[in-house]
Structure 1
Amino acid sequence: MKQENVSYDHTANFFFIVMLFLFILLQVAFHPTYLQYAPQFDGFGWIHHTHGAIMVCWMIMLVIQPYLIHKGEYKTHRLIGKISYVIAPLMLISMFLVTRLNYVNTVDEIPFREVAYIQALNFITPLLFFLFYSLAIIHKKEVFKHKRYMIGTAFAVVTAILSRFLYLVFGSSIEPYDFFISLYLGIIVAMLLLLNDILKNVNPIPYAIISVALIINIFIFHARYTEEWQSIVLFIGDRFF
């Protein structure tokens, strides 16, 4: 198996372009549901603003970090990496608060099966983010693995971006396929990256873990109307919300 940690990463520039594209797409996708209400933001509270600001900070970090690697600015890269020790926990807390707010606002207003449907993504996304970020930090001294798990954190939030963008383009007629397209596109990209590592005869485990986690996420979304999933949502809602 080929050496994994190399002094110069030729893929950094590519991932910088991808992350920059996702950051721009984030601004476009969230314009109809959030940004267009600036500066008053009527109907939105501090939880929405905090969550939005933290998500933007995270996406900016994902844009900057591969650029710094591409330019050889490793010291600055490590400094920003340490800042993630603050941003990542805040990201998880904001995800929890937004999910809780969404649950509380809908649980008595719509049929519970629809509440469970909505939470099929809200409950899993923070877990995916936590998993991938934790693995990235555990392997922070192994550049090969660290980079891949950090890319995994982008997969954890890309569904929210792509689904809103698809809804913006096609309107309500695309529901619920906006979520399906986003989820399946994510797993296709992850598996292509996994295949690329296999063909290059390098360690396939990072992208294999990411791919399996994303597949589980898809299975849960397919099970969003089942009694089993509704029971899980009810259990979590009663005890934590």
Structure 2
Amino acid sequence: MKFQNSGYYYLAFLVLAFIGFWPSYFSKFFDGTADFSQYFQFHVGTALLWVAMLVIQPLLIQRRKYELHRTIGKFSYFLVPILFISVLLLANYRISPELEFVGPEFWIPFKDLLIFSFGFGVAIWFRNSMPIHARGMIVAGFALSEPVMVRVMYNVLGLKGTYPYILAISVVYVILLVLIFLERKENQGRWVFPVAFSIFLLVHIIVISGFNPDFWERFSRWFISLPLT
């Protein structure tokens, strides 16, 4: 399989993100009620830059602009650590230490970083193997899909309770399963999506079951107590 057209899919994803976050974020700038913290704004800015890269990079490959693709790719070495910092700062700012259990709350952003790390790590490690590199970048993009789909379920479709969350993550699983099926006969890189599927399944089992071992609760409380924000 070739993924040069994935930029168009991520462009559609960007539109979906705008729709999903419109009621709770973008619309606030038009009605004068935008009062978001600098940490949230910082995170939004870095996430938008990352999605912009996901849109642009495949299109450059499609147009054989390989040198420009590599140049922009080097920018990711700077952007990705900044994106990680934005997620951790936002978690430090938003999660209250007064909660009875901090671990499950901190696991939500941490699991996204875990998935992102796998995808981006594969993409960089195999940067000279286009089939594997492309799949790694797609998985890194999937790390942003859950927050968007959850906002669509709650903010746009108006669904309530825990069911919309299950429905949102199910969309991710369906896409991964379709990709796994379509490339079942590929010679290179077909292991990336099955491994990503397994990681998604593991982290969501932890979320849904509420599994919160003592070491994770202690680590989470330590991190939230740091004077970062």
Whether the TM-score (by the shorter chain) exceeds 0.5 is: yes
Q: Does 1:182 align with 2:173?
A: no
Give the direction of change, closer, same or farther, for the CA distance of 1:120–1:180 in structure 2 (3 Å limit).
farther
Q: 1:33 aligns with which of 10, 15, 24?
A: 24
Q: Does 1:20 align with 2:30?
A: no
Once the two structures are TM-superposed, the CA of residue 181 in structure 1 deviates from its matched residue by: 1.6
Alignment of 1:36-185 (within 5 A): 36-38=27-29, 42-104=34-96, 107-108=97-98, 112-113=100-101, 116-171=103-158, 173-185=159-171
Q: Specify every segment of 5 or more residues in structure 2 that has no aligned partner in the other structure, as ranges.
A: 225-229
Q: Which amino acid aligns with 1:112?
A: E
Give the whole-Å Cα distance in 2 for the aligned partners of 1:101 and 1:216. Answer: 26
Q: 2:204 aligns with which of 218, 227, 230?
A: 218
Q: After the TM superposition, which of the residue ranges 142-151 and 199-208 deviates more from structure 2?
A: 199-208
Give the direction of change, closer, same or farther, for the CA distance of 1:177–1:125 in structure 2 (3 Å limit).
same
Once the two structures are TM-superposed, the CA of residue 199 in structure 1 deviates from its matched residue by: 3.0
Preserved contact between residue 139 and residue 145 of structure 1 (Cα < 8 Å) = yes
Once the two structures are TM-superposed, the CA of residue 237 in structure 1 deviates from its matched residue by: 2.2
Q: After the TM superposition, which of the residue ranges 115-124 and 83-92 deviates more from structure 2?
A: 115-124
Give the whole-Å Cα distance in 2 for the aligned partners of 1:33 and 1:54. Answer: 18
Give the whole-Å Cα distance in 1 for the aligned partners of 2:80 and 2:198. Answer: 22
Give the whole-Å Cα distance in 2 for the aligned partners of 1:155 and 1:190. Answer: 9
Q: Specify every segment of 5 or more residues in structure 1 that has no aligned partner in the other structure, as ranges.
A: 1-8
Once the two structures are TM-superposed, the CA of residue 177 in structure 1 deviates from its matched residue by: 2.2
Q: Percent of pairs identical after alignment?
A: 22
Q: Which amino acid aligns with 1:157?
A: L
Q: Secondary structure at the match of 1:216?
A: helix
Deviant stretches of 4+, over 4 Å: 39-42
Once the two structures are TM-superposed, the CA of residue 164 in structure 1 deviates from its matched residue by: 0.2
Preserved contact between residue 7 and residue 56 of structure 2 (Cα < 8 Å) = yes
Q: Which amino acid aligns with 2:209?
A: A
Match of 1:5 in 2: none
Once the two structures are TM-superposed, the CA of residue 201 in structure 1 deviates from its matched residue by: 4.6
Deviations 1:33-71 (A, max 9, x none): 222222766431111111000000000110111111111
Match of 2:195 in 1: 209
Q: Secondary structure at the match of 2:184?
A: helix
Match of 1:194 in 2: 180
Give the whole-Å Cα distance in 2 for the aligned partners of 1:151 and 1:221. Answer: 23
Preserved contact between residue 190 and residue 207 of structure 1 (Cα < 8 Å) = yes
Q: Secondary structure at the match of 2:23?
A: coil
Match of 1:4 in 2: none
Preserved contact between residue 135 and residue 189 of structure 2 (Cα < 8 Å) = no
